[in-house]
Structure 1
Amino acid sequence: MGAPALRIAGAILGGRQLAPRIAAGVAAGLLGILALIAAPLALLSSSGGGSAQITGGSPIPPALVDVFNEAARAFTVNAYLLASIADQESNFGSGTAWRVVNGSGCIGLMQMCVGGAGGDSWTPAMNSYRRGTRPATYAFKTDRHPDVLDSFDNVMAATVHLRGKVGDRPIPRLDDLAYRALCGYYGACADGIAGNYAADVLARARAWQRQAALRPDGGGAPLVSGARMSWPVRGPVTSPFCERRSWESCHPGIDIGVPNGTPIHAAATGRVTLVQPTATSGGYGNFTCLAHSSAISTCYAHQSRILVRLGESVIRGQVIGITGCTGRCFGPHLHFEVRQNDAKVCPAPFLGAGARSMCASGAR
């Protein structure tokens, strides 16, 4: 074979060897172009999603799940985070006090403020409900909109308010950004009680999300880890909430029978808002109260000693006093109260306990 023929043959062979490389290069280029086209589309399609959705297996009321999930979808905020705020602020609307403006000027499922000490977080965000699709049915639905007592309107506004605390950024994960947003929702992270509030809300949301991941079908009873408070002392409930007595028609807390000198632990993180000695407490003996949010507080009565100061920040489980029998008392025990928007309520749902074990018949 002559030289020209050899060159032609070599070119053909070389072309066969280069062909796959050329084809691969063309394919890679096309994929790159498609990626450039698809990336903005992906960003656009995910701008209203990408946040964790509630799937079950938690104490979150089913009639509110669609509300939290839609707010989470519309504004890219973790749905468990929104639910945990509602639990902290109003115990999912289980009482009636959340329907009236409290001392800070706040109202509704997420305690949006309409004036007063809490400012006005409702008015700037009240039309946020228009961003989402209203569920066909849900708890606390009203006929007019926007309505601060409508749970969908309230949660949508609260979600915008929460994002505003971190520069209107999405909050899809339960991370440091979520913690900073929660601090701002309550007040400011520099304030110890706001930081404690954020830590409690975030821990509960994480517990619920982990629980859902372990049990995606949501089957079985809610885990006690979803409870919002821990027991201040361990002992039998000797007097239930709202028990009728000769001197009172509704016992305003529960009595837990424990020996004299038992340490009393803070049921949740908060700040000491009331310290009263026996002489001024009106039968409560040595008496203290802790605020855990703008809506929720706990109180501890008949102590032999108080170990905290007014205004002091405390963490869940911290020893705050010692049991005794001061005030109107017939034996050593701890009288424990939960107050929601200043109304005394049965502690059972806060302690992850059955209502029958500590709430008198007909008590709320």
Structure 2
Amino acid sequence: MGVAAACSVSAATPVAARAASANVAALQIALAGAGLSPGPVDGISGPQTQTALQRFQARRHLLVDGIAGAQTRRALGRRGRPALGHRPMRLGTRGWDVAALQFLLRVRGYGSGGLDGGFGPGTLAAVQRFQQAAGLTVDGIAGPSTLAALRRLQVTPTPTATASGPVRFLRPVSVAFTDGFGYPGGRRHTGLDYPLPYGAPVAATGVGVVAFAGWNSGGYGNLVVVRHRLGFETWYAHLSSITTSVGASVSGGTVIGHVGSTGHSTGPHLHFEVRQFGTPIDPVPYLLTASAARNVPVAGGAAAPCRPNADARQTQDTDPLVARIDRCP
């Protein structure tokens, strides 16, 4: 993980954010709503979030300290309040707490259809799906019991998308994946891991526009995100190098980077995700037989010396802490 910025989201004593946090995600959503760009909403206070926060503080003539304290939260208006847990959230409520709720739902596998701080029909449906899966009263109100369950329980997501839609993707590479989507080994994994030699080319899996191309401090390392139609995105993580840029148009087979082991990775491989409206979904039903790399030569063998784990942060979308760079568990 990259060096975390000292970015507090508490209205009281500021503390550094060192792991994925719903409050940091709420800050990222608030900054995006203010017209700034904190990077992907990942709940990690990295350099992009820090820069966006400091720009906001400078714009509002606040102390530019990179800390989202009480004054900064007030300056964010309704996007900066109230704190998560200060009120039950229901259809029609808006604010910082709703944005944090949406992030918690997303990392549990219950996407709300957007991360915007507004409790609309999508968030209502996501809350109800989670409540049902967690054995709670299904009332669509995110009160203390629902928040407590979101913070502690791992429940199997109710599918929110099926493979019957019109969107399909080429397979990212021509080799078989090792770790799959879901709970391999009892831990949450949000994509597919493909073992490949260091430097092997990585190609986009379909027509789209590059939405992010750079460093992700939350464990993905060098990351490219391609935005497709109907709310779909594909994510390509742990790259050794990136050969595209934000705003670039791509199609199936366009080389966007090369395989690496950046971020929290135990060896060279591609971590590939498909997301719809920000929620990771199983890529397999959406993959065609053909490979995006069918015309891209890959030198050397395709197999890694041992099965890699993609990430090492102890959050809901990563691998266990036993994974370390250059050592397989």
User: Structures share a fold, TM > 0.5?
Assistant: no
The TM-score range, normalised by the shorter chain, is: 0.3 to 0.5
TM-score (norm 2): 0.38
TM-score (norm 1): 0.34
